[in-house]
Amino acid sequence: MTKYDLIIIGGGPAGITLTKRLAKKMKIAVIRPEDYSLVYCAMPYVIEDLIDKRKCFKKDELITDAGADLIRDLVTSVDFKSKTVLLQSGNSLAYDKLVIASGANPFVPKIEGYDLKGVMGFKTQDDLELMTSYIENGLKKAIVVGAGAIGIELAQALKHKGLDVILVDMASYVLPNLVGPEFSQLAAEQIVKNDIRLVLEAKVEKLKGKDFVEEVHLDTGEVINLGDYKPCTIDDNHTIKGLVVFATGVVPELSFVQGTELQIERQGIVVNERMETNILDVYAVGDCVQFTHFITGQPSAGKLATNAVPMAAVLANNLLGKPATYKGFINGAATKVYDNYVGGTGLTVKAAQNLGFDVVKAYSQATTQFPIMPDKKDLRIKLVADKKTHKIIGGQIFSGEPVTTLVDLITFAIQKGATAHDLVELSYSSQPYQSFYPAGNVIVMAAESIIAQLES
């Protein structure tokens, strides 16, 4: 049996990051079943025809050129005592150390009809190719369930392809984990203006049909009918009249370690800040782990590539003997809603209040360039601070220009425990094409407003 210094289960962003940092230093095997790991974040833009699908496929050389063996197979079980993994092919491999980086699968609730044709999640190469084929073969209607970033990006892409699109969410506003109601409302206006029907405060209760999904039943009593559309056929096995795509979150992929002594909780494998599991020489990183929120210290959802990669970087350092710790999720993230960019980080007011924080919130508004410049766009920001400590605990941005740099700046303030007073002292830059006038900066203005409230 071949033995490796390190076996990595999973070839997504977490597995690739580890490989790139460690493969020259130890004998590594990366195991993943699929032909290609994808640039998942770009999948909606492949549907939209903005990017050629092949550009989304990561090259095997990312792993092999780094010096690791890439094994296309599925791990079906792990024997932690004998330190071996069993593969679907029947082969076994031995390890000295094991990293589980098996990611997460889209959550499709097991309601009546969830297994009908035309009901799917959106993550894999197969999902991408199936959806593309249906569209190419005349698909006319899609229901996207979940108005988070992925659901909204996908709804726009499907609309762009000429489909009749309905976006459904049980929350009362879109992007509920990213922003508060004000910026959500601005995003919703864009969605509705572009002829996507938005149905909020509605839960999909059951799906009905014979072979394929024909009716979507909501708990509001509404039944969305797909049966009236012309059938769309790819081959003998794939005929539908409409698509129902669940973008309602993900569940860690841990089927191959169920029932073992590995400690697993709701959000995934429990790890400490060095990414160690409860089993010696077994580590876990990425979407398959349960970790805590940076601010609250409580277990938190954090299924983002921008969390998976830093976790893997921390583990790589530890495995190289350079002690490092992962401090927790802050979950800075962003999306694009037609011509607008929306981002958020830390806690929303609602999330903070649910956790018992007494919060102060403030808004500021400026333009992305000097207001006298022809192409300036609006830029709005909301900051959230803890009334007791004055520390910044969240921030959100809505703008006509990309927002990730501002999101990251607020994230950094949170990471460093900055208060509203610290942000008032932010030393900023200004230039007609790239910022508001030197007279003001959105972060400073919002921080000043927080202080004014704290002092009143």
Which residues contribute to the site for ligand FAD (CB under 6 A)? Answer: 9-15, 31-34, 37, 40-41, 43, 74-75, 101-104, 122-123, 150, 253, 256, 286-287, 303-306, 308
What residues does 29 pair with on adjacent strands? 7, 69
**Interacting residues of 391 by C-beta distance below 8 A, sequence separation 6+:** 385, 414, 417, 418, 419
What residues does 337 pair with on adjacent strands? 340
Closest distance of CB 334 from ligand FAD, Å: 7
Q: Which H or E run contains 283?
A: strand 282-284
Comparison of 74 and 111: residue with beta carbon closer to ligand FAD: 74
What residues does 386 pair with on adjacent strands? 359
Comparison of 126 and 211: residue with beta carbon closer to ligand FAD: 126
Closest distance of CB 312 from ligand FAD, Å: 8
**Interacting residues of 61 by C-beta distance below 8 A, sequence separation 6+:** none
Closest distance of CB 16 from ligand FAD, Å: 7
* Residue position matching structure tokens 């938190």: 300
Q: Cβ–Cβ contacts within 10 Å for residue 222, how many?
A: 11
Comparison of 33 and 432: residue with beta carbon closer to ligand FAD: 33
Hey, is 409 helix, strand or coil? Answer: helix
Query: How many whole angstroms separate alpha carbon 87 and alpha carbon 398?
Result: 47
CA dihedral 50, 182, 251, 253 (to 10 degrees): 50
Known active-site residue 56: no
State both tokens at 287: 């979407």
Closest distance of CB 51 from ligand FAD, Å: 13
- Among 63, 93, 24, 73, residue whose Cα is nearest residue 319: 24
Question: Of residues 41, 56, 232, 288, which has the active-site annotation?
Answer: 41
* Residue position matching structure tokens 């833009």: 45
Comparison of 43 and 68: residue with beta carbon closer to ligand FAD: 43
Comparison of 209 and 286: residue with beta carbon closer to ligand FAD: 286
Judge contact between 359 and 396, C-beta under 8 A.
Answer: no
Rg of the chain (C-alpha set): 23
Closest distance of CB 104 from ligand FAD, Å: 6
Residue 54 burial by CB count (10 A; 0-12/13-18/19+): exposed, middle or buried? Answer: exposed
What residues does 336 pair with on adjacent strands? 341
Closest distance of CB 430 from ligand FAD, Å: 29
Comparison of 104 and 226: residue with beta carbon closer to ligand FAD: 104
Comparison of 41 and 94: residue with beta carbon closer to ligand FAD: 41
Closest distance of CB 42 from ligand FAD, Å: 8
* Active site positions, annotated: 41
